[in-house]
């Protein structure tokens, strides 16, 4: 049996080491976390609402049932996180200058999500709703897009993506002319510039 939910509001946490700790059923509202280490931390059932994370490490963090509502991640290391395990209805985030390599967003609703200056290598976006999302200056080598809703998404400044138009929704998505190779890779065309 879990303890009563612990709520923290409008607090700042600087350089806290939570690595490998168990922090179940916590609620953080309007809090700011700077340079905190959540490596292998068990956050199951916790909620982060209107929180900001700056330069935090979330590698191998247990996030089963965790809610990230209106959460902002800046300069964070978020390696190999399975975001499909987060709370289904409490998930809206933005990411800037983050490393999200090997993370999983399978089937997540990410409408309007901003990925600015992020590394998204080998990230799985299969069946995700990324409509109206923005990928400014983000690295997408090996990222998987399959049955993904990319309508109105902005890839104009994204790099190294491979998106098969026949397997994804792309209506009104934005691309630059120099990125056409990322849309035509599956046809094995020889494109010269």
pLDDT in tens, 151-188: 999 999 999 999 999 999 999 999 987 777 777 666 56
Are residues 150 and 73 part of one domain? Answer: no
Are residues 142 and 91 part of one domain? Answer: no
pTM for the whole structure: 0.91
Q: What domain range includes position 112?
A: 100-193
Q: What is the CATH number of the domain that holds 76?
A: 2.160.20.80
Which of 78, 99, 120 is at the close of a domain?
99
Does the pLDDT at position 1 exceed 60?
no
Are residues 82 and 1 part of one domain? Answer: yes
Position 6 scores a pLDDT of 84
Based on the number of CB atoms within 10 Å of its own CB, is 52 exposed (0-12), middle (13-18) or buried (19 or more)?
A: middle
Position 35 scores a pLDDT of 98
pLDDT in tens, 111-127: 999 999 999 999 999 99
Q: Would you state the structure tokens that stand for residue 44, as one six-digit string?
A: 């199951």
Total domains in the chain come to: 2
Are residues 164 and 127 part of one domain? Answer: yes
175: phi then psi, degrees, rounded to nearest 5: -140, 155
Are residues 81 and 21 part of one domain? Answer: yes
């Amino acid at each position: 049996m879990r303890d009563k939910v612990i709520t923290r509001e409008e607090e700042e946490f600087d350089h806290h080491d939570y690595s490998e700790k168990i922090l179940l059923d916590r609620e953080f509202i309007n809090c700011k976390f700077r340079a905190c280490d959540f490596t292998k931390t068990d956050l199951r059932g916790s909620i982060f609402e209107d929180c900001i994370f700056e330069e935090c490490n979330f590698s191998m963090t247990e996030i089963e049932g965790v809610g990230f509502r209106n959460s902002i991640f800046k300069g964070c290391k978020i390696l190999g996180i399975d975001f499909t395990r987060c709370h289904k209805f409490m998930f809206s985030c933005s990411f800037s200058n983050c490393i999200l390599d090997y993370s999983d967003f399978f089937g997540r609703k990410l409408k309007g999500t901003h990925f600015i200056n992020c590394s998204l290598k080998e990230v799985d976006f299969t069946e995700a709703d990324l409509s109206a999302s923005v990928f400014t200056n983000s690295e997408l080598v090996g990222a998987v897009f399959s049955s993904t809703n990319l309508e109105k998404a902005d890839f104009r400044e994204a790099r190294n993506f491979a998106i098969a138009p026949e397997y994804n929704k792309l209506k009104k998505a934005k691309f630059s002319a120099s990125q056409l190779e990322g849309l035509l890779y599956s046809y094995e065309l020889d494109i010269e510039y």
